[in-house]
Amino acid sequence: KYVAVVGDLMMDKYVWGEVERVSPEAPVPVVSLVGESTSLGGAANVAANCAALGTKVRLYGVVGGDLEGSHLRELVRRNNFFDAGIISDENRQTIVKTRVIAQNQHLIRIDRETLSYLSEDIADNLFEKFSADINSFSGVILQDYNKGVLSPYLVKNLINACREASVPVAVDPKTENFWIYKNVTLFKPNLAELESALAKPIRNDADLEAAGNMARLKLNADNLLVTSG
């Protein structure tokens, strides 16, 4: 059996360098390039972490029809887990977060991304791949970073399919789509997301228990786990 991870796929790129002077063109440091590295990010990183723990993983998501998408696929294969659930969409950019680091300081991050929801055609294609494999799943993780893959349309189909197949579903949400994840097995917001979704401050354990019960009942979730960050 496999754990399926569905969500926003990203690639983390690191540019390492040294700073010895300030640019004469503007008051910014000049970074002399020393090296570059890339790693899986977003839902792809969650899948990689599961694989590192010895879990058999299948990953489902979308990349752009670009060089970065090909690179992300290669990183997935290097991590030795299933990548056939990754779809290329010519109308999207592969999400890449580039961090420039010098003298052990994070100088800047550059985000390259498409944030719109998937088209229904692409969402249907992704769901078809997922549902064709569902009998091989022991569990499903929906990993949302508000980057457009987990649209309300796709989420509803994914959860309904899992319930019909008696496959447990765990969700790591973001505030924007907080309330669309109904009828799941485990819902795991962090404290700030829970406060934002309920528009109520959580100051103590009693507030936390009340907020957690309110969210769990509204979502009809079997279990709710609140993390600190």
pLDDT tens across 12-27, in order?
Answer: 999 999 998 999 999 9
Q: How many Cβ atoms from other residues are within 10 Å of residue 63's Cβ? A: 24
Q: How far is CA 20 from CA 14, 33, 153, in A?
A: 19, 11, 51
Residues 188-225: tens digit of each pLDDT? 999 999 999 999 999 999 999 999 999 999 999 999 99
Contact criterion met (CB below 8 Å) for 180 and 155 = yes
What is the residue whose two structure tokens read 């796709």? 154
pLDDT of residue 9: 98
pLDDT of residue 83 exceeding 90, the answer is no
Band of residue 175 on the pLDDT scale cut at 50, 70, 90: confident
How long a stretch of residues is the chain? Answer: 229
Contact criterion met (CB below 8 Å) for 141 and 57 = no
Mean pLDDT computed over every residue of the chain? 95
Question: Could you please report the per-residue DSSP string of 86-124?
Answer: EEEETTSPPEEEEEEEETTEEEEEEEE---SPPPHHHHH
State residue 204 phi and psi, 5-degree precision. -155, 180
